[in-house]
């Protein structure tokens, strides 16, 4: 699979577990994003990284901890989650050409279920 | 912060008819308005976008219009086909570099019936 990949595709975890979601982009982009997609709700932007630096934390609870070791990889570390955190977590990347416009390319998502 | 509202939440049309989806935004500083299509079980994909210095943009059967004064923008799909059936999301952001912080609408489930 090319473009933006995410692992795992499905994850079931208990509220006391610690797990990590991984995203990798093969497009040479410099910006990466985490989104949460829940039923009947809009896509919610969680975090933005640009050249490995976090530029946005959209009031996300601390039980979600992002990590961006380089421009191609993005992680979302999960701990002590709640059942309402169950959702599809989407990663995206973009070239971030500033005022020239910006298409975000999404990964296939990780379907997370918190028991 | 930005707030994007999208209507309708569901839209059913006959094949060959036109479909229109409307969005409003709250932040007058927003200057970038993309539309994403998400088919069932698949990832969102950009279908068209418009910047605030343009009032209308067209790409084959798809067009987007923007009214900055009223702070609303619309997606128009002509000659709809069954493969157009999907959820469509509008979004808005301020392009400044440092990452594109999109605010999405709640989505429109479009169903094209034969």
Q: Burial code of A17-42, b = ≥16 C-beta within 10 A, e = fewer?
A: eebebbbbbeeebbbbbbbbbeeeeb
Cβ-defined contacts of A69-74 (< 8 Å, 24+): A71/A29, A71/A30, A71/A32, A72/A24, A72/A25, A72/A26, A73/A22, A73/A23, A73/A24, A74/A22, A74/A23, A74/A24, A74/A25, A74/A32, A74/A34, A74/A49
Question: What are the residue ranges in chain A where pLDDT is below 70?
Answer: 1, 98-100
Give me the pLDDT at residue A99, please. 65
Q: Say whether residue A115 is in contact with chain B using an 8 A CB cutoff.
A: no
Q: What residues contact A18, with CB distance under 8 A and at least 6 apart? A: A77, A78, A79
Substitution target from B21, B43, B89 for chain A, most A beta carbons within 10 A: B43
Of B4, B6, B100, the CB nearest to A102: B100
pLDDT, one tens digit per residue, over B51-107 is: 988 899 999 999 999 999 999 999 999 999 999 999 999 999 988 777 788 999 999
> pLDDT class for B110, splitting at 50, 70, 90?
very high
pLDDT 10s digits, B24-43:
999 999 999 999 999 999 99
> Does A114 sit behind a cis peptide bond, omega within 30 degrees of 0 on the bond before it?
no
Nearest C-alpha of chain B: how many angstroms from A78? 22
């Amino acid at each position: 699979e090319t473009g933006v990949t995410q692992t795992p595709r499905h994850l079931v975890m208990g509220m006391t577990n610690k797990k990590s979601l991984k995203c990798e982009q093969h497009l040479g982009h410099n910006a990466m994003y985490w989104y949460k997609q829940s039923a009947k709700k809009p896509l919610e932007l969680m975090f933005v990284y640009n050249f490995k630096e976090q530029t946005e934390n959209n009031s996300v609870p601390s039980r979600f901890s992002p990590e961006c070791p380089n421009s191609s990889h993005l992680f979302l570390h999960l701990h002590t989650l709640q059942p309402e955190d169950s959702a599809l977590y989407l990663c995206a990347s973009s070239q971030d050409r500033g005022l020239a416009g910006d298409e975000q390319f999404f990964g296939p998502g990780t379907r997370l279920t918190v028991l | 912060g930005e707030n994007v509202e999208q209507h309708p939440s569901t839209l059913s049309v006959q094949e060959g008819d036109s479909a229109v989806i409307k969005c409003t935004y709250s932040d007058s500083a927003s200057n970038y308005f993309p539309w994403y299509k998400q088919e069932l079980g698949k990832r969102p994909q950009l279908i068209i976008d418009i910047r605030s210095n343009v009032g209308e943009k067209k790409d084959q059967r798809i067009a987007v219009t923007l009214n900055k004064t009223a702070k609303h923008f619309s997606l128009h799909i002509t000659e709809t086909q069954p493969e157009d059936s999907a959820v469509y999301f509008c979004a808005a952001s301020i392009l400044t570099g440092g990452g594109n912080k999109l605010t999405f609408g709640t989505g429109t489930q479009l169903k094209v019936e034969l």
